[in-house]
A and B are shown apart, each in its own frame.
Chain A
């Protein structure tokens, strides 16, 4: 129901939040860990968008990144390994009024949770998903993850990993109903924040792969890109991100890319020499599962009981 009086009165009830209102505890992540940058960007988003803590949920799986909900003073669900997405989908389905974020790592999402990841993309529910990709299992002290570069020496691959790394962007862009795919790096806070913001505003599942450093187990892995700004390719477009003067000055490798161009997005996703940063694909017209399945029927106690009993009756002998 759209009651204009209510809308007006709601605007009057506009509380201002500070960054500290979203902070909870001191992160246990290592010094230099990219998760800190992601946490700062997300807390800044919550403050700037005035998200009400009691209406915001962070859902995670297992891993370093999945400690994220502990550090947000909002609702949170530290789930089980690989199952952050199904939990988040359940939350969104019954409480579409909540803003739901998902924090998942490269092991959590791309290995044990890969099936859920694929189908979550296909369902396109209104979730903002951050893939904290440090290319290694950090919490369990260095095992190769699906995104570890080939040759990564780890406890499970002492002679170096044998397989090419899985590219989460290419995979996501290959799934039906992908509606928002972006990539950020933790060491360019300005673009990280802008991408996080665009992902939040997208209506549908926004998938953001954030390449992040692991200072403990892969300390030098991303140095070639960190130390050479020309190996970062900033994507910009009038319908996507605009580059600030400061950013454009530091990062001169820029690419005009229409986020509706799926074929080009797939090409960009496959880049190896440079790290593309920005929105690769965005389509606002893809239907969202929670809306497609919305029946409008009120879930009264009677409705639930009736449905439940009807199910049980099927098995009554």
Chain B
């Protein structure tokens, strides 16, 4: 046992197999033990294959095949035959899966027919079931499996739907603007002499007994009676130019577009997309300007003296996101492996400014060797750099997800496409060359499980802080370093054994034949207690005592358990992968070091205050017993100016505009800006009029005061009458 340990430790430290008791992995066909149950995916019902469905009212653009089949079964698998129909349709579903896995593609309905024909021929009952179900196939679309073509295809499909919606809205806007602008020109013609000519009036009546009308007389009357207010030359020219600009636009196809050709907005290179954007920008600004002016023209609000100058410089500083959102977004689909330096620079340039360009970067290999060579590993760094750089720009929508998870993140994809600024979608296809017989779905899913290619979203539109913007929710067991899965097997004594096993980077690398030299199989006869699970070794902060060697459980093609030891280089890579995941967790609010420190500090303060309170309970109760200050319920009354009873005045704010006082003397009494009465000139009338007005006032707000002219006749009686109003 000691000799074996030494050999194992030597392999662990150097990667060299110094004994014949260690087997190379090449040719053994091993796979991580947790993959034992996934040998044939066509027998499993899971998200894939996907169906890229046409636009639906709820915004769905993709559905899993099994989901659509379930929908059909809900409708048809009823009654006594329900179970039979269900069985037959599920058999057909499996047949479609087999066909798609072997490379067939096409519409769901077409694949259904192809798969149903041989099944139906063999059994009449199956044919009946399938025919019934086929009649309920209402949602169709292209079927696609998880493979290298999936990311571009899926994003292209979602983007096209979004552009279709935008095109419809744009088309409606353009058609409305063209109609309303044309109405301005038409109305001007109708008001012109030509429009009111007998000939034109006759033409406007259509068919019928036209002899009953005297169009000459009608023309004379209309010409004489209607106002002459023709369009000014500048306005006519402006409206005509607007119409020409709207007709000539090439951004979306509309009923009002003159030319058949419209721009294409899907590219396979950032350089080409940016060049096209720059070239089209002047036309885009011209069109946005025309639409803005047209809106003003239609409302009759275009004011040459104010607006000409503003529109002359329209778009000089670029357009705002809300203006750009009327126009198509650009889609760029790139493969990470083919990205050149200039391409990368342009990508950075696009992301750093607020351009409406959506970039999909597909990565096929996430554990490639570092360009430095000499065995340097740079697992997942390329894609990580791209996503981190994009998040660092702060205004870019970022979604990272392996292809296997794309259905789960469909809403996030829509949010990214809806986002007004640039978006980066980084997708790992799982279609790497070194994965041998393992299907891309399994590789992509393993990349997610092993934290090699975590799934996350950074949505700048969701809020201003990281908690609102960043989400790790779509990762399995996101709170842990590695997801724990239950692994159950039968030991040599045929006893069932179940244990929790973490799925780590090492499991992921073990799928790739390129790195088989970092693994060595230990023959069953040499198994001993010094072989410890890799999870435990990776969890250690340092190397520790060399009394055990990390070992990974794998299975051979016959599903027999094998133990494989791992060299330290991979353990270091696994720790690095975990550390990077921990950083992401912090951004996502999991084990956030700032929050934990703050919490510790608050706990200390709380404990200290509890202690203090225990010592002096009287002070705490004193605080509780403190009287609560009453909140004033009504604002304090405004300070009114003290009025002398000798002074004549009106409580203007209470005047109900009844005209009584102004009719008595409209020089003495007048209305203010709110049409409420006040005393405009006391000398403009007599005291008798003041008293009369006070008596007439419906709301009794006129106060006559004391007479100014002591010689006025009948003062004594007037003073008596005025008493009630003072």
A→B interface (CB under 8 Å): 1-6, 9-10, 12-13, 18-19, 31-34, 36-37, 39-40, 43-44, 54, 97, 186-190, 213, 215, 226, 243-246, 248-250, 296, 298, 300
Contacts and interface: CB of A to CB of B under 8 A. Distances in A.
Nearest to A242: B635
Nearest to B298: A97
Contact of A1 (B326, B654, B660): B326
A249 B300 CA distance: 47
11 contacts: A5-B319, A6-B296, A12-B306, A18-B673, A19-B674, A40-B657, A187-B698, A188-B656, A189-B653, A246-B638, A298-B176
Contacts of B288: 3, 5
Contacts of B172: 296, 298
A34 B656 contact: yes
Nearest to B177: A1
Nearest to B315: A5
A36 B658 contact: yes
A99 B273 CA distance: 46
A189 B657 contact: yes
Contacts of B292: 3, 5-6, 9
B174 to A, nearest CB: 10
Contact of B676 (A32, A40, A187): A40
A243 B320 contact: no
A160 B641 CA distance: 48
B675 A213 contact: no
B301 A32 contact: no
A36 B659 contact: yes
A122 B169 CA distance: 32
A213 B660 CA distance: 14
B632 to A, nearest CB: 11
Given A31-B659, A189-B657, A245 B635 contact: yes
Interface in B285-320: 288-289, 291-292, 295-296, 299-301, 303, 306-307, 310-311, 314, 319-320
A243 B656 contact: no
B659 A32 contact: yes
Contacts of A34: 656, 658
B323 interface: yes
A281 to B, nearest CB: 24
Nearest to A250: B654
Interface in B681-721: 698-699
A40 B675 contact: yes
Nearest to A97: B299
Contacts of B319: 5
B634 A9 contact: no
Contacts of A187: 656, 698-699
A44 B674 contact: yes
A245 B179 contact: no
A246 B636 contact: no
A249 B637 contact: yes
B324 to A, nearest CB: 10
Given A40-B674, A245-B637, A298-B179, A186 B323 contact: no
B676 A188 contact: no
Nearest to B658: A32
A44 B671 CA distance: 13
A33 B659 CA distance: 9
B495 interface: no
Nearest to B172: A296
B654 A245 contact: no
A31 B658 CA distance: 6
Given A3-B291, A248-B637, A44 B314 contact: no
Nearest to B311: A9
B343 interface: no
Given A245-B635, A246-B637, A248-B637, A190 B654 contact: yes
Contacts of A244: 635, 638
A173 B428 CA distance: 62
Given A4-B323, A189-B656, A32 B698 contact: yes
Interface string B313-346: 0100001101100100000000000000000000
A129 B310 CA distance: 40
A37 B657 contact: yes
Central interface residue in A1, A44, A97, A300, by most chain B CB within 10 Å: A1
A3 B295 contact: yes
B322 A189 contact: no
B322 A13 contact: no
Contact of B638 (A213, A243, A245): A245
A4 B179 contact: no
Contact of A190 (B306, B653, B660, B663): B653
B173 A1 contact: yes
Given A19-B673, A245-B635, A246-B637, A9 B698 contact: no
Contacts of A1: 169, 173, 291, 295, 326
Interface residues of B, number: 46
B493 to A, nearest CB: 70
Contact of A5 (B320, B658, B699): B320
Contacts of A298: 172, 175-176, 179
B126 interface: no
Central interface residue in A36, A54, A215, by most chain B CB within 10 Å: A36
A205 to B, nearest CB: 25
A145 B106 CA distance: 76
Contacts of A9: 292, 296, 307, 310-311
A37 B656 contact: yes
Interface in B425-466: none
Nearest to A27: B659
A188 B698 CA distance: 11
Contacts of B176: 298
Contact of B698 (A4, A226, A248): A226
Contacts of A36: 656-659
A9 B675 CA distance: 33
B655 interface: yes
Nearest to B676: A189
Nearest to A193: B674
Nearest to A256: B633
A245 B639 CA distance: 10
The 5 tightest CB contacts between A and B, nearest first, are A40-B675, A40-B657, A37-B656, A245-B637, A4-B322
Interface in B620-665: 634-638, 653-660, 663
Central interface residue in A188, A243, A300, by most chain B CB within 10 Å: A300
Given A6-B292, A13-B303, A37-B656, 13 more contacts: A1-B326, A10-B296, A12-B306, A32-B660, A39-B657, A187-B699, A189-B653, A189-B654, A189-B676, A213-B698, A244-B635, A245-B636, A246-B637
Contact of A243 (B300, B634, B653, B658): B634
A6 B319 CA distance: 12
A181 to B, nearest CB: 23
Contacts of B663: 31
Central interface residue in A19, A40, A97, by most chain B CB within 10 Å: A40
Contacts of B699: 187, 226
Central interface residue in B303, B660, B699, by most chain A CB within 10 Å: B699
Nearest to A222: B698
Contacts of B301: 10, 13
A3 B314 CA distance: 13
Nearest to A3: B292
A19 B675 contact: yes
Contacts of B653: 189-190, 246
A9 B303 CA distance: 10
A52 to B, nearest CB: 9
Contact of A2 (B296, B322, B654, B659): B322
Contact of A3 (B310, B322, B657): B322
A294 to B, nearest CB: 12
A111 B319 CA distance: 57
Nearest to B321: A4
Contacts of A31: 658-660, 663
Nearest to A192: B656
A115 to B, nearest CB: 33
Contacts of A5: 288-289, 292, 314, 319-320, 323
